Copies of this chain bind each other. A is one copy, B any other.
């Protein structure tokens, strides 16, 4: 295997200098057409492929951007990344991927690794464990763009793309009310996270706006899973004051709720059920599940746009933006009384 061709080989072949070759390859206007043509032909002949490492080392720009997410296995993140990669690829950027697996330690390590790889910036969604965000400060200090999405730290002055979780909760409750449900419960997580907290707040606001009573005992704090959904539904249905609709913290929990309700012969939409996330399965279960869609593609798109805007500015942190994505109510059988 012979060594790969460099611009030196092209230069030697044509009896010109490397700077001329470099300028030709980069389409400088100060190069004669003849030379340019000769250079490209020779490049092709020698099977020349540029070594971006070298130019990056020189220019300080790698056209590579780091993306840190909790896990690729979560469909939401996979779709966001799909979308980010599409947009950034078209702008000449590559994606260096790092999964934190919901561990701060990994996340810190991710930032370090990506920075050593000299990425031009980072797009990230924080791990659930993350509280101290000083590792992200490094980016800011280096004046490199940082865009946070979904799980963000509001105290950081960086661009963010988030869902309007308050509105998501509000819309879920409002939809149920409009369908005629009057006694609406909420099965959510005990986890301290503004996302879930804001949904509950939105839910409460909707109740108030529609002159419905807020019943704290109708808000079940547990986990988010099929099992937790079953548990929550069971507990709620045993109440004297039985709710006629349940909002579940996510679609898996909603699925658990539905399963339990079917067992109790209270299959939705008899008791209304709505979830959050619009997981793939939600459209296919019986009864199929109404849910709040988070528009993952749009989140990814906005992240990429925000990033491009920052990278294009010589002072990225002067063009910080906070994009809020609107939740979408997806109406299906489980709430169609």
Residues of A within 8 A of B (CB): 1, 4, 49-54, 56-57, 62, 64, 71-73, 75, 78-79, 81-82, 85-86, 89, 94-99, 101, 112-118, 141-143, 255, 279-281, 284-286
Separation of A64 and B86 alpha carbons in the complex (Å)? 20
Q: A49-B115, A51-B116, A78-B72 are in contact. Are A94 and B98 (CB under 8 A)?
A: yes
CB distance from A10 to the nearest CB of B (A): 16
CB pair A94 B75 closer than 8 Å? no
CB pair A72 B64 closer than 8 Å? no
Within 8 Å CB of A51, what residues of B?
Answer: 57, 116, 118
CB pair B57 A53 closer than 8 Å? yes
Q: Which residue of B lies closest to A300 (CB)?
A: B72
CB pair B116 A49 closer than 8 Å? yes
CB pair B142 A1 closer than 8 Å? yes
CB pair B62 A73 closer than 8 Å? no
Q: Which residue of B lies closest to A280 (CB)?
A: B281
**Interface hub of A1, A89, A101 (most chain B Cβ within 10 A):** A89
CB distance from A88 to the nearest CB of B (A): 10
Contact of A72 among B57, B82, B96, B101 (CB under 8 A): B82
Q: A4-B142, A286-B286 are in contact. Are A116 and B52 (CB under 8 A)?
A: yes
CB pair B281 A52 closer than 8 Å? no
Q: Which residue of B lies closest to A85 (CB)?
A: B99
Contact of A284 among B57, B98, B285 (CB under 8 A): B285
Within 8 Å CB of A115, what residues of B?
Answer: 49
10 contacts between A and B (CB under 8 A): A49-B116, A53-B57, A57-B57, A64-B117, A71-B82, A72-B72, A82-B99, A89-B98, A279-B280, A285-B285
Within 8 Å CB of A56, what residues of B?
Answer: 53
CB distance from A79 to the nearest CB of B (A): 6
CB distance from A289 to the nearest CB of B (A): 9
Q: Which residue of B lies closest to A73 (CB)?
A: B82
